[in-house]
Structure 1
């Protein structure tokens, strides 16, 4: 007798957006890191853009915290906010200083793709439901965790790139991805709006692709 396993909500989202997912997994930025050839100037620009987004991510998870329906979810999200502020923010402060890169200020003009990513992600959090915020961050963090876990197995001459990749291949980050995935997979069929969630999944991947391309533009 053949047993058919019903796909989870997250598996359905991934399957529906397989082309965009693969495009991000095979993005030039990802491949350059995996092959130890990311130009130093591109990484510097990426740090500037991503460092700013970490500030935005704190706001995004803040919206999730406010909209979370249970105290257990709120407790977890408080931990996420703590990790962003005590692990990722110090990484950028330390690395920007070590590489003597110009600090990224809020008034600084950003490439269109970087600004679109920042505002697009924040708009989902501000205007959407709790479920929308969770789907958006699952998309971004699942994507990062997947390629960084892979890249963490390859050598890289740049210690700051190694540290950044390792941060996203760390068990703590993996646990966060699994928590986000469990949130989505735990929703009832009535709570899970597949079309809406798939549109968010697709939008985030498209924004991520353009965002990671921007660091190559001078």
Structure 2
């Protein structure tokens, strides 16, 4: 198995608690309370600002031009695609860009993002990518789960259709494949097998923090 597949299998309970969270199930069937989604949108925008910084840190940690280019592509995907999606969605839900950018980070947002940045500052590029990967690959998996027959099969009236479509779409799915390939390549080059237990601890905690982030949104909906 690839490094990602091994990490996912070894942290199965934490991973499933993340990708099959009640928030995710509510997104899928459209029953997620609107208040939960609104809080999530604001916090995920603030979250992505910090994750953009983490991808910039990955470029700094890179020792080759090829790795720098991959880190830069991840940064661009956040800044030019995901953050713009969030602003579009927020506007449809009555939240202006100014409203979102003026929002205060929730403790769950701070806990996750600053932990990732700390991993990146203290460790090497492989450790940072293990901390970042559950976000990208988890959302890619969630996109496939929520739109197994493609976004066109989802009712046009579904309240979260656009969000699902972004992560189920070809562009994000390709980003997920590229992210997994890079993680596996870094693992081969930086002794991933010999460091597996330490990497697993990082991966499992990232999955738990992702689940906490979903719960933060769900709590706003009174669930």
Q: TM-score range by the shorter chain?
A: 0.7 to 0.9
Alignment match of 1:144 (pick from 139, 144, 155): 139
1:85 paired to 2:79:
yes
Is the Cα–Cα contact under 8 Å of residues 120 and 127 in structure 2 kept in the other structure? yes
Counterpart residue number, 1:166: 165
Q: Which residue in the other structure is 1:128 paired with?
A: 123
Kindly indicate whether the alpha-carbon contact (under 8 Å) linking 2:28 and 2:146 is maintained by their aligned counterparts in 1.
yes
Q: Following the alignment from structure 1 to structure 2, what is the Cα–Cα distance between the partners of residues 189 and 66?
A: 17
Cα 1:114/1:163, change in 2 over 3 Å: same
Partner residue, 2:178: 179
Checking the alignment, whether the CA contact within 8 Å between 2:46 and 2:105 is kept in structure 1 is no
Q: Secondary structure at the match of 2:31?
A: coil
Contact 1:152 1:162 in 2 (8 A): no
Q: Which residue of 2 aligns with 1:208?
A: 210
5 Å-filtered alignment, 1:1-218, equals: 7-101=1-95, 103-105=99-101, 108-153=103-148, 155=154, 157-159=157-159, 161-186=160-185, 187-188=187-188, 191-192=191-192, 193-218=195-220
Question: Displacement of 1:185 after TM fit?
Answer: 2.2
- RMSD across aligned C-alpha pairs, in angstroms? 2.0
Secondary structure of the corresponding residue to residue 59 of structure 2: helix
Q: CA deviation at 1:78?
A: 1.8
| 8 Å Cα contact 2:52-2:75 kept in structure 1 | yes
Seen in structure 2, the aligned counterparts of structure 1 residues 119 and 158 have a Cα distance that, compared at 3 Å, is farther
1:38-75 deviations in Å (ceiling 9; x for gaps)? 11111000001101111111101001111112211212
Conserved? CA contact 1:113–1:211, under 8 Å? yes
Deviation at 1:179, TM superposition (A): 2.1
Q: Post-superposition shift, 1:190?
A: 6.0
Contact 2:126 2:190 in 1 (8 A): no
8 A contact 2:58–2:71 mirrored in 1: yes
State TM-score, norm by structure 2: 0.85
> Within 2, Cα distance between the matches of 1:176 and 1:152?
17
Q: Is the 8 A contact 1:36 1:155 kept in 2?
A: no
3-state SS in 1 of match to 2:82: helix
Structure with the higher fraction of residues in helix conformation: 2
Equivalent position SS for 1:37:
coil
Rounded to whole Å, the distance in 2 between the matches of 1:28 and 1:99 is: 21
